[in-house]
């Protein structure tokens, strides 16, 4: 039934892969084929290489909403965001802490944030380790230049 490694059914558009978002233009072609040309949902689906269920969903959404824009995909709020104040306090107390150390320090306070989530949080807010180290180097250098050495 398929045409080799493309994942598209015979007669469908080449290069389509399962699980990939379909452009609004392609959805419009399928919906127009069903609503204006009288084509069946299955035939329209074969034409562009998607499932008949996808075409049915697009037709239904077009009728309900009047457009074919895809719904917003993915994304969720990080579990680290509500812990911003705790994270900043820990970083203030232990500027060279690792992400594992930060995760353990938060766990000691009853908060579960993985090292990866902590790293993404810090990077998102411009507070990743390298940025923090560079900032401290600049501060030390500026402090020494004024005769107020820190060590």
* 151/144 Cα distance (integer angstroms): 10
Residue 142 domain flag: no
Kindly report the CATH number assigned to the domain that includes residue 64. Answer: 1.10.10.10
Residue 105 domain flag: yes
| pLDDT of res. 86 | 93
Residue 144 domain flag: no
pTM for the predicted model, two decimal places: 0.44
Residue 140 domain flag: no
From 29, 31, 8, 28, select the one nearest 20 (Cα to Cα): 8
- Determine the structural domain holding residue 122 and report its residue range: 81-128
Q: Are residues 26 and 87 in the same domain?
A: no
* DSSP per residue, 36-49: TS---HHHHHHHHT
* DSSP per residue, 93-131: H-TT--HHHHHHHHHHTT----HHHHHHHHHHTT--HHH
pLDDT tens series, the chain, 151 aa: 444 444 444 555 555 556 677 888 999 999 999 999 999 999 999 999 999 999 999 999 999 999 888 777 766 677 788 888 999 899 889 988 889 999 999 999 999 999 999 988 888 888 877 777 788 888 888 886 554 544 4
Number of structural domains in the chain:
2
Q: Are residues 58 and 99 in the same domain?
A: no
């Amino acid at each position: 039934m398929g045409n080799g490694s493309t994942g598209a059914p015979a007669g469908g558009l080449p290069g389509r892969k399962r699980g990939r978002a379909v452009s609004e233009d392609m959805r419009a072609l399928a919906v127009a084929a069903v609503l204006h040309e009288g084509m069946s949902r299955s035939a329209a689906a074969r034409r562009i290489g998607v499932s008949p269920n996808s075409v049915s969903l697009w037709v239904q959404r077009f009728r309900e909403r009047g457009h074919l824009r895809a719904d917003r995909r993915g994304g969720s709020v990080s579990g680290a965001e509500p812990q911003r104040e705790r994270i900043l306090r820990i970083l203030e107390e232990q500027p060279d802490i690792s992400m594992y150390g930060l995760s353990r320090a938060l766990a000691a306070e009853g908060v579960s944030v993985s090292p990866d989530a902590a790293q993404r949080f810090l990077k998102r807010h411009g507070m990743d380790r390298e940025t923090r180290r560079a900032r401290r180097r600049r501060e030390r250098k500026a402090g020494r230049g004024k005769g107020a050495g820190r060590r």
